[in-house]
Amino acid sequence: MGILSVFGFLGTGYLFFYLLFIGKSLLVPLVLGFFLWYLVEATARTIYKNSPWQNRWTKILSGFLGIGVISAIIAAMIYGIKTNLKAMIEQAPAYQAKLEVTLTKILETIPGANGLTTKEILDYVSLPDIFGAIAMNITNIVQTVFMILVFALFMFLEKNTVKSKISALFPQVENKTRADSVLKNLDHKIRIFFTVKTFVSLSTAILSYFVMKFAGLDFASFWAVMIFLLNYIPTFGSILATGLPTLMALVQFEDKTPILMILIGIGFLQVIIGNVIEPRVMGKSLNLSPFIMIVSLILWGALWGVIGMFVCVPLMVMLMLILSEFKTTRPIAILMSQDGNLD
């Protein structure tokens, strides 16, 4: 019976992830719509709480203001990214020529290059192709914005019926109280994650922008936006946020000083803010094992690509909290946690 249970669990898990993979065209906009709705709701809640008049009308107005603020930020980011990418693609041939010169100099200083030529490397590294691929991926994401907005809108309209639905689903007072507790805990942890992560990512991006601007890096504002977004990806996001501007500097500059300035400056900010300040502010509120974070990053990245990497942490926190509420799945939640304490 035990072996059958194990095979049943593995089969259910395989089917679950298979459905996530084949249904990603629908599920990805749905999940992003949920997080967009959550950001709007959190923004509206903040506006309402800081309003001198708190009544039904100011609550409605706060909702519309929340929608306006988040929509304006997203529109500005999309416009900025597309504009900068267009300029980068136009200048890509010039950057490719500079990269060829830089690689030739580097290979001349490496004794063990074993006959490796610049042409052989550039056969695999084409900046016009790389910039074009980035632009295509961003365009694909932008094309799903309409569906994301539709999902977010319907979630926004449905929010007032959540309490009545919970009451209908759990007529017993004990079960209803338990469901309310789970939802509040989930809301609290996701809110902490988004608030802290957004503040940390924004701070890192702004400070990195000044470093890149001081060094004279082209498209510093574009790379600052990319740093802000990449910092939502655990571990590897920080590496990419440091590596990509450094590679751009390697292509742009012949002098080592600005290259080292960008590498050390952004790298220092990532280490201090990401590894010292963020853990202190975030604390153990998420209580998610670092090992599970890495595994989930790889898993969700394989399932949903870059989007999966962005949403893996809040999704795993939600999954852990749900599993912790059932006796049969609580051991899995304990293994997913950082310290085994789920109370």
Q: What is the rounded distance in angstroms from the CA atom of residue 322 to the CA atom of residue 17?
A: 17
**Assigned domain for 221 exists:** no
Host domain of residue 147:
27-158
Total structural domains within the chain: 1
Helices 256-272, 173-215: axis angle to 10 degrees equals 160
Q: What is the DSSP secondary-structure string of 161-213?
A: GHHHHHHHH--SHHHHHHHHHHHHHHHHHHHHHHHHHHHHHHHHHHHHHHHHH
**Assigned domain for 81 exists:** yes
Highest mean pLDDT among 21-35, 120-134, 252-266: 252-266
- Residues 12, 339, 278, CA angle at the centre, nearest 5°? 105
As a whole number, the mean pLDDT across the chain is: 79
Q: What is the rounded distance in angstroms from the CA atom of residue 209 to the CA atom of residue 266?
A: 9
- Please check the confidence at residue 123 and state whether its pLDDT lies above 70: no
Highest mean pLDDT among 111-125, 174-188, 245-259: 245-259
Note the pLDDT of residue 284: 59
**Assigned domain for 68 exists:** yes
**Assigned domain for 211 exists:** no
Note the pLDDT of residue 342: 65
**Assigned domain for 294 exists:** no
Note the pLDDT of residue 1: 43
**Assigned domain for 202 exists:** no
Note the pLDDT of residue 80: 79
Question: How is residue 207 written in tokens?
Answer: 């400070």
Q: 111 versus 314: which is more confidently predicted?
A: 314
Closest Cα partner for 103 from 76, 122, 86, 123? 122
Q: Which residues contact 101 (CB under 8 A, 6 or more apart)?
A: 254
pLDDT digits (tens, 9 = 90+) for 145-171: 777 877 777 777 777 777 777 777 777
**Assigned domain for 36 exists:** yes
How much is the average pLDDT of 16-20? Answer: 80
pLDDT digits (tens, 9 = 90+) for 275-324: 778 777 766 566 778 888 888 888 888 888 878 888 888 888 788 877 87
**Assigned domain for 104 exists:** yes
Note the pLDDT of residue 285: 61
Note the pLDDT of residue 33: 83
Q: What is the rounded distance in angstroms from the CA atom of residue 343 to the CA atom of residue 335?
A: 14
The radius of gyration computed from the CA coordinates of the chain, to the nearest angstrom, equals 23
Question: How is residue 239 written in tokens?
Answer: 């590496």
With the CA atoms of 221, 225, 231 and 235 taken in that order, what torsion angle do they form, in degrees rounded to the nearest 10?
Answer: -70
Amino acid identity of residue 90, one-letter, is: E
Instruction: Judge contact between 71 and 79, C-beta under 8 A.
Output: no
Helices 236-252, 290-323: axis angle to 10 degrees equals 140
Share of the chain above pLDDT 70, in %: 87
